[in-house]
Amino acid sequence: MRILITAQASYSHLAPLVLPVAEAARRAGHEVAVATGAAVVEHIEKRGLTAFTLPDVKALGEVMQGGALQRPPGMENIGSVTVELQPEFFAAAFIGQLAGPSARGVLDVARDWRPDVILHESTEYGGYLAAEHLGIPHGALDIAPMAPYAHPAVKDALNRQRTALGLEPVSDSWHPFRAFRAGVVPEDFYPTGSRLPGARHYRVPAQASRGALDPDIARLPVDRPLVLATLGSNAPRLPGGASTLLHTIIEALGELPVTGVVALGAERDPQQWEGPRADNVHLTSFVQQELLLQSSDLFLTHAGFNGTREALSAGVPMVAVPLFAEQSHNAARLQELGVGVRLNAEDVTRETLSAALRTVLADDSYRSRAQGLQRRAHALPDLDRLVEDAAALAG
């Protein structure tokens, strides 16, 4: 069987689910290919997977820089403020601007390659539109459970794209997800209103390709709780490199009876770091996050979904400081579930951050609830089952 997977031209949209599913499909003996923009094709080919370059597909950042899409208010201050993801921007960006070129590219690919099933990561609507146009079974790989998929602006933008392809309009914003929605966190992470009948949930295996844990981190003191802090791979690219926020994180951890590990970002050499240092805080450019979470007591995070999922899989409670995209919605959900505390970036001071960290460390109920989600995550079927279920769409 031929399975085509479509994704945004951003590594953060590939890594959590698209690449692992593609590899699982290949292991199962299927022909599999990933269709996306040129900016990330190398990441696919490095895995030995087939990549189709969609010539007119760009990353969201490129589209905004080109002026085709107005930046949301506050974007110039990301790192010092939390920029909420507005549904109207989500619809205008991911459907209004990005879906059309992707759909046209996927149609060209599909006419020659003839997939039996098309899977699209959940923010990539071009694969869905192309599948609808060709009458090919399709499904969604949910890499962003808290994105505003159900908003009326999404339905309106979706119907404009459907009309352009000669498709009848739909009355349901969830239409791209109804046939098959593959989630990778337990169902109870989803708010009640976004739990779809027939949605399925799977377990993403730990990634073994990142190597062993850094020996310097392995030798850190064990007589205090370990707190891992990272703002994600995009932090150095934010205005000011999010330096002020990183300064505050290091200072707050330095005041607490903990061992801190702060990942500054892959482009930052800790030896060249000119910000604050603390005796109990280990600075690094990169950390094997998934490995270290297994022995962490608390995760200080920007609440990107992949890190959130990894922490929940490890049973680790969180303090979340969302920066942009759907991170604020993830952070709010963590607080609702009682597995974390949310602080907006503009509200972070040494005092407020210290208080949030102390709260989560001192109250065992945060960890207990996180471990409950961990147990439910570990009970989910693996990605081999996801591939079986996706292949079954073709009958």
Q: Name the range with the highest mean pLDDT among 7-16, 202-211, 293-302.
A: 293-302
pLDDT band at 302 (very low <50, low <70, confident <90, very high): very high
| Confidence bin at 78 (pLDDT 50/70/90) | confident
State residue 266's pLDDT score.
79
Q: If pLDDT is split at 50, 70 and 90, which confidence band does 210 have?
A: low
pLDDT at 86: 94
Q: Do β-strands 298-301 and 318-320 pair in parallel, antiparallel, or remain unpaired?
A: parallel
Confidence band for 38, pLDDT divided at 50, 70 and 90: very high
What secondary structure does DSSP assign to 113-149, as a single string? H--SEEEEETT--HHHHHHHHHT--EEEE-S-TTS-T
Residue-range domain boundaries for the chain = 2-203+380-394, 215-378
Looking at residue 307, its pLDDT comes to 95
φ and ψ at residue 303, rounded to 5 degrees: 70, 30
Arithmetic mean of pLDDT, 39-46: 96
Residue 246 has pLDDT above 90, yes or no: yes
CATH topology agreement for domains 2-203+380-394 and 215-378: yes
Q: How confident is the model at residue 208 (pLDDT cuts 50, 70, 90)?
A: low
Span 260-273, pLDDT tens digits: 999 998 778 999 99
| Whole-angstrom distance, CA of residue 241 vs CA of residue 268 | 10
Q: What predicted TM-score, i.e. pTM, was given to this entire model?
A: 0.94
Distance CA 151, CA 95 (A): 13
Q: Which CATH class is domain 2-203+380-394?
A: alpha beta
> What superfamily does domain 215-378 belong to in CATH?
Glycogen Phosphorylase B; (3.40.50.2000)
Q: Which pLDDT value is given to residue 117?
A: 98
Residue percentage of the chain with pLDDT more than 70: 98
